[in-house]
């Protein structure tokens, strides 16, 4: 039996191989050790891309596949960072139990917020989630909890295991975060391709019709929030490991908007698109900042407008739309050629 791999699957495998080889290729090109200079710097850039890719993908499950627009997704991302930081720094827990509790807290947080916010829909749901996120943001900045959260200064100098040190073991952390992103992608892909994922898509397309045929849409939307919240919390925990801190900015509305931008740029409802969008925002932002300094957000805004105008379904979404059109055109032409060849000569 021959294993058929699609063009997109082959491209993804090729990209994964390239990312695995990247640190060593960069070292060979620059003549510097893999844990020094430019190779080490670009490993750090890609570590941030991998973490943001998971965060964006978690938002895509919520908005792209279930149709739930949330303006408070940062509360899961920042919540995971703070839970990890507090347990490692103040409770002295190990990394394994800490990550397990990050998952449990994210599930509890998702259930509570989902039950309360899913009573409404549309823009009202977006406003409710924004209100919850602002509540967590205010709590993180509150001076009453300074000894635990660091208030407006954030939780600094989080102790991480030596093998996860972003300074001394960056190459290992690079492969850990790459593996983390790949694992989260396969989990998310399994979810959206499952019967539960198909119901989520049905809810996105027409929730009333999904209810008519017997699905409890509230339960499926709550499930989507839980899955999305856990993935975002784990991404936030990895971000805290990378930066060795957790700060209130991780809970701000800007962090949610970043997830929204990454999803739109890459392609809503594609999974791989938001991951690509994370790379675009992170790397393009770095290059624009290097070229234009403090004015770079203005240039990025122009680039974003151009992407929306010329790639209305995002990078991956537009490619799939046009590829489908090209395939249909090619099939029609092939059918015409077959008919002409089979037509008897006069």
**CATH code of the domain containing 20:** 1.10.3470
Q: Is residue 153 included in any domain, yes or no? A: yes
Tokens of 60: 């895509």
Q: Is residue 169 included in any domain, yes or no? A: yes
8 Å CB contact between 64 and 264: no
How confident is residue 346, by pLDDT bands cut at 50, 70 and 90? very low
Spatial separation of the C-alpha atoms in residues 56 and 8, rounded to whole Å: 19
pLDDT, residue 205, reads 92
Least confident window among 95-99, 217-221, 244-248, 329-333: 329-333
Kindly list the distances between the CA atom of residue 204 and the CA atoms of 11, 63, 213, 220, in Å, as whole numbers in the listed order.
29, 8, 15, 11
Q: What is the count of structural domains for the chain? A: 1
pLDDT, residue 249, reads 92
To 10 degrees, what angle do helices 37-60 and 217-243 make? 170
The pLDDT tens digits for 29-69 are 988 989 888 999 999 999 999 999 999 999 999 999 999 99
Looking at the predicted structure, is the pLDDT value of residue 325 above 70?
no
Spatial separation of the C-alpha atoms in residues 59 and 188, rounded to whole Å: 11
Spatial separation of the C-alpha atoms in residues 7 and 223, rounded to whole Å: 32
Q: Is residue 44 included in any domain, yes or no? A: yes
Q: How many helices (H) and strands (E) does the chain have?
A: 14, 0
Q: Is residue 209 included in any domain, yes or no? A: yes
pLDDT, residue 259, reads 94
Q: Is residue 139 included in any domain, yes or no? A: yes
Spatial separation of the C-alpha atoms in residues 16 and 26, rounded to whole Å: 16
Identify which has the larger pLDDT, 334 or 107. Answer: 107
- Average pLDDT over every residue of 136-156: 90
8 Å CB contact between 95 and 161: yes
Domain that holds residue 214: 7-294
Q: Is residue 300 included in any domain, yes or no? A: no
The pLDDT tens digits for 178-220 are 999 999 999 999 999 999 999 999 999 999 999 999 999 999 9
Identify which has the larger pLDDT, 14 or 173. Answer: 173
Looking at the predicted structure, is the pLDDT value of residue 7 above 80?
no
Q: Is residue 89 included in any domain, yes or no? A: yes
pLDDT, residue 332, reads 64
pLDDT, residue 97, reads 95
Q: Is residue 344 included in any domain, yes or no? A: no
């Amino acid at each position: 039996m021959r294993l058929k791999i699609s063009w997109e699957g082959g491209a993804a495998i090729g990209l994964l191989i390239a990312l695995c080889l990247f640190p060593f290729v960069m070292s060979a090109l620059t003549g510097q050790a893999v844990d020094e200079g430019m190779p080490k710097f670009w490993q750090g850039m890609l570590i941030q891309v991998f973490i943001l890719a998971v965060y964006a993908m978690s938002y895509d499950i919520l908005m792209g596949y279930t149709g739930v627009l949330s303006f408070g997704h940062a509360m899961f991302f920042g919540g995971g960072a703070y839970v990890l930081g507090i347990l490692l720094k103040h409770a002295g827990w190990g990394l394994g139990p800490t990550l397990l509790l990050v998952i449990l807290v994210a599930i509890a947080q998702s259930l509570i917020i989902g039950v309360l916010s899913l009573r409404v829909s549309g823009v009202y749901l977006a406003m409710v989630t924004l209100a919850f996120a602002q509540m967590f943001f205010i709590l993180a900045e509150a001076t009453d909890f300074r000894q635990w959260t660091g208030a407006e200064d954030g939780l600094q100098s989080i102790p991480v295991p030596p093998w996860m040190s972003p300074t001394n073991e960056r190459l290992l952390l690079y492969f850990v975060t790459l593996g983390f992103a790949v694992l989260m992608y396969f989990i998310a892909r399994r979810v959206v391709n499952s019967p539960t994922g198909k119901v989520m898509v049905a809810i996105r397309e027409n929730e009333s019709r999904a209810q008519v045929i017997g699905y409890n849409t509230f339960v499926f939307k709550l499930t989507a929030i839980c899955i999305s919240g856990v993935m975002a919390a784990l991404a936030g925990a990895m971000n805290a490991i990378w930066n060795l801190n957790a700060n209130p900015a991780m809970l701000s509305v800007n962090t949610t908007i970043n997830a929204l931008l990454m999803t739109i740029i890459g392609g809503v409802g594609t999974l791989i698109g938001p991951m690509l969008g994370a790379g675009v925002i992170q790397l393009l932002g770095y290059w624009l900042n290097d070229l234009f300094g403090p004015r770079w957000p203005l240039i990025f805004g122009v680039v974003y407008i151009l992407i929306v105008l010329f790639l209305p379904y995002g990078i991956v979404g537009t490619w799939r739309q046009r590829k489908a059109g090209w395939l249909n055109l090619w099939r029609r032409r092939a059918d015409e050629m077959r008919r002409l060849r089979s037509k008897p000569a006069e």
